[in-house]
Structure 1
């Protein structure tokens, strides 16, 4: 069998759907285009859900069998998320000299912050990995993720922000005067905070569109608000159009008590790529998903008055100013937030040339 020097192991793969699955698929595709790689992936279920528990339990044996069947030991091993760190021990069966990379996304490094028995156990699990794999390099999707990884001892990291497929839409000449929120309605994303604290400060009749599915019970209550227009779960083309036509796209993350944070904030990149005007909280991974003043505008977290003032300001922008800003943001996204750049950064992290 082919024994490429670069082995990529991931439990996040199609047909399961999600951000980590997209990262795995796109990264593998771009890496393969510039460097030979060998992929061991755990496929998701046909209905788009993650693999069943039994498949997850069996996956280490699949990885072990694959490594032992190889004609030669891999020189570099990339594990798709922090929860997979024990698989590095399996790789050591063939070579203790292999360079080890472990990707870090968000919950896979921050679950210990939730507390309780599960949180404490997971924290101990990560700390054990940090002690055993001191030479491993963490590929963090943002500076915020690298900081959280350090809490459990993973101090050797490199920042590789995510990417998106650029949607070639012309910036709308006339926006629909509606604000758009896209994503799951969970506490950390701040939609309920925005509805309760910012919306009342905006002109009467301001409409907030919400695109997405899945919500916490406390957050889902905002859908009954008279100024909310619920769009449901949109396909990629429809979502891109919604980004493009909105007066602005908001990403108003807050700091929840359970310590959750935004690992990256891909909506910020996707919206800017589609020609949308992005306003995001200056917090967590959003600081790497938004190039402040270029691909979007960062605003103080939890400051309702500042948010209301900025929304009022951008709503009054003349067409020329808005188009210039959004077109410039699209160009910057097209230049920087690419999967080719992600693949190059990963290879550079282990000293391999693209």
Structure 2
């Protein structure tokens, strides 16, 4: 269980108290994922200008989220930490919507503190899966929207904002995520190598791509897959003779792989149950590292990719369009490719920065007063 206190430099004691943030999250390292990265990096950036206390539930050493048992115990851990907290926060920031009751708990201890919640795609799309669990989760979120009417809500994409509104929450701001990944475009990239990175779940579209798009491409085109298998049904795609599975890779190696690939594919599919990609961090990571990004024009990927600027958006589920665009970029003139990558990387690194995320989050904090 992580209990972290960040102390910013060059800030007076009075400013420290008036700007203090209490950040509560169940998403933290060593678990791997966009939400974990968001919580860790946002709090680090916020701490450069204010005091930040973090109550976080650590993930497992293998990169998986904490066990269900630890999740059930987390509210009691938070309760204990709230009793021991020495300084009252000005802002209580809850890291994701699934733990919204912890905002009520913190408000009982610190009634003068402003309440802020972050919303991610998985927070608001689970209810769309249907069944008893989905129905109950949708009701759970709806109850939260009625009990936390004074809370400010930050969505990570316009797609997430839309779903929040449908559930009943009022969204205060859309703040796209960011990345620290850096790399250099490679003059010696492999024009026959595609790269897929991320969790292997149906929504990410790897199986769809292997079954529907790969047969439309040249037989010497290969796909390198980096990530972890979450959905066993997706594992079948890894046995294709044109697919190489590398498993998890550290960020430095991943950046190099992004830059060396002919293109980085993010082929998310639109599911009939309403699940969607909340943001799509891989897309801006790849662009920032010097990769040529092709992403599905769906969900939060529309905020993770600036079309024809940091990558290209392609109609989700349209195999012919995907095959045509891949062929086009793999056959692109090397000079044109280099120019595009230089522009896309510069824009990705400037826009998808954690300093920008912290600045926009601070603007939301200011609106609470």
Q: State the TM-score bracket (shorter-chain normalisation).
A: over 0.9
Residue 187, structure 1, aligned to residue 236, structure 2:
no
3-state DSSP of counterpart to 1:90: helix
TM-score (norm 1): 0.93
Residue 317, structure 1, aligned to residue 332, structure 2:
yes
8 Å CA contact 1:14–1:43 kept in 2: the answer is yes
Greater shift, 344-353 or 130-139, is seen at 344-353
Match in the other structure for 1:233: 248
Match in the other structure for 1:261: 276
8 Å CA contact 1:13–1:42 kept in 2: the answer is yes
Structure-2 change in CA distance of 1:324 and 1:305 (3 Å)? same
8 Å CA contact 1:146–1:157 kept in 2: the answer is no
CA shift, 1:219, in A, is: 2.1
Match in the other structure for 1:245: 260
Match in the other structure for 2:78: 63
Residue 145, structure 1, aligned to residue 145, structure 2:
no
8 Å CA contact 1:166–1:333 kept in 2: the answer is no
Residue 172, structure 1, aligned to residue 201, structure 2:
no
Counterpart Cα distance in 2 of 1:192 and 1:122: 28
3-state DSSP of counterpart to 2:295: strand
- 2:96 counterpart (72, 81, 94): 81
- 1:273 counterpart (288, 302, 310): 288
Residue 341, structure 1, aligned to residue 356, structure 2:
yes
Cα RMSD between the aligned structures? 2.0
CA shift, 1:46, in A, is: 4.2
Structure-2 change in CA distance of 1:217 and 1:50 (3 Å)? closer
CA shift, 1:352, in A, is: 6.7
TM-score (norm 2): 0.89
8 Å CA contact 2:45–2:355 kept in 1: the answer is yes
Structure-2 change in CA distance of 1:232 and 1:340 (3 Å)? same
3-state DSSP of counterpart to 2:168: coil
8 Å CA contact 2:154–2:171 kept in 1: the answer is no
- 1:36 counterpart (38, 43, 51): 51
- 1:114 counterpart (129, 138, 158): 129
3-state DSSP of counterpart to 1:162: coil
Structure-2 change in CA distance of 1:224 and 1:72 (3 Å)? closer
Match in the other structure for 1:351: 366
Counterpart Cα distance in 1 of 2:63 and 2:298: 30
- 2:218 counterpart (203, 211, 230): 203
8 Å CA contact 2:269–2:317 kept in 1: the answer is yes
Match in the other structure for 2:8: none
Counterpart Cα distance in 1 of 2:288 and 2:357: 17
Counterpart Cα distance in 2 of 1:60 and 1:210: 37
Greater shift, 331-340 or 10-19, is seen at 10-19
CA shift, 1:268, in A, is: 0.5
Counterpart Cα distance in 1 of 2:160 and 2:296: 16
Structure 2 regions of 5+ residues with no counterpart?
Answer: 6-15
8 Å CA contact 1:255–1:261 kept in 2: the answer is yes
Residue 332, structure 1, aligned to residue 322, structure 2:
no
Structure 1 regions of 5+ residues with no counterpart?
Answer: none
Q: After superposition, what is the alpha-carbon deviation per residue over 1:129-151, rounded to whole angstroms, capped at 9, x for unaligned?
A: 00111121211111111112222
8 Å CA contact 2:172–2:364 kept in 1: the answer is no
Match in the other structure for 1:301: 316
8 Å CA contact 2:118–2:154 kept in 1: the answer is yes
Q: When the two structures are aligned, how many residues end up with a matched partner?
A: 352
Q: After superposition, what is the alpha-carbon deviation per residue over 1:286-315, rounded to whole angstroms, capped at 9, x for unaligned?
A: 001001111100111111111111111111
Structure-2 change in CA distance of 1:227 and 1:61 (3 Å)? closer
8 Å CA contact 2:226–2:245 kept in 1: the answer is yes
